[in-house]
Amino acid sequence: MRVLSGIQPSGKLHLGNYFGAMQQYLELQSKGNDCYYFIANYHALTTVNDRKTLEDYTREIAIGYLAVGIDPTKSVFFRHSDVPEVCELAWIFSCITPMGLLERCVSYKDKVAQGISANHGLFAYPVLQAADIIIYQSNLVPVGQDQKQHLEVTRDIAIKFNNIFGEDLLVVPEPYIISDVAVVPGLDGQKMSKSYDNTIELFTPKNQTKKKIMRIETDSTPMEDPKDPDTCRVFALIKLLATKEEQNNWRDRYTQGGMGYGDVKKRLVELVNELLDPFRDKFAELEKDPDTVEDILREGGKKARTTAQETMEIVRKATGIMTNY
């Protein structure tokens, strides 16, 4: 199966990225799928308008994914902008995509409500996303529930293209939704997100990670009284990191009383660092070797572009677009 997914370089990687997406990418890679993972720097232009910021974020995302375990010998890992054919395909798709389909997309409305500028790129985001997916004739797309609607738009566009220009020209992708992946809570209890500034980053030093965790807000229940683990932000994170046995032990300590929130926060610091320490070490190693990172992206871009060009030959021929290259 060919798997396709991307991440915007619009901020630093955090635990929400790891548990919500990166773990699944690694799992799909380990199962021998034909995985294409890209850094969506074209998409990032909808919200990032500073050249150096975009370059820095792109580099950090590249190093971060490699540090966590994306293997360029098993997956095609590349930059969005190394495959300019996606923009050509997005334009062709724009010419068959009904406005009403885009106007129904809730993601656009949500982002505008968060204060993001209402530009055309943000509105047309699902069309470029459709081009990203379809240009590699992808079968499966790992998505969270919040992105499921965009994949439905992608499927609608692929089906409409096939209906207009020829049956089965383009693969109609299927969603790969991990139903048991919990929403990762941020420091304020909302979903962990760069937009809410409530994240625990993957590659910051240990002392900064500890400071963030120790200031997670908890209720004012006295130490000697029982506490409800299911309403506690700290326990919600413990459940992502601890063994089932340890989770049950902490649940008992919550409900029996005699436990301070500081105790569970200290254990959360330990668990987070146990997970992140190998990633931090690999990140530091790769950060000192930018040429290797660039070589990986360049080779991935070449492979991805070859696949994209094959699809564009089909699309151009079907639509009557003529080129001299």
| Rounded-to-integer distance, Cα 64 and Cα 69, Å | 9
Q: For residue 78, what are the CA distances in angstroms to 119, 187, 287, 320?
A: 26, 32, 17, 30
C-alpha closest to that of 287 among 119, 59, 45, 111:
59
261-287 vs 233-241: helix axis angle to the nearest 10?
A: 50
C-alpha closest to that of 213 among 195, 244, 227, 234:
234
- Give phi and psi for 25, each to the nearest 5: -60, -45
| Rounded-to-integer distance, Cα 124 and Cα 153, Å | 11
| Rg, C-alpha atoms of the chain | 22
* Active-site residue set: 111, 191, 194
Which secondary-structure segment (H or E) carries 166?
Answer: none
By CB neighbour count within 10 A (0-12 exposed, 13-18 middle, 19+ buried), where does 322 fall?
A: exposed
What tokens appear for 208 in the block? 């900064």
What tokens appear for 323 in the block? 């080129």
| Rounded-to-integer distance, Cα 161 and Cα 89, Å | 11
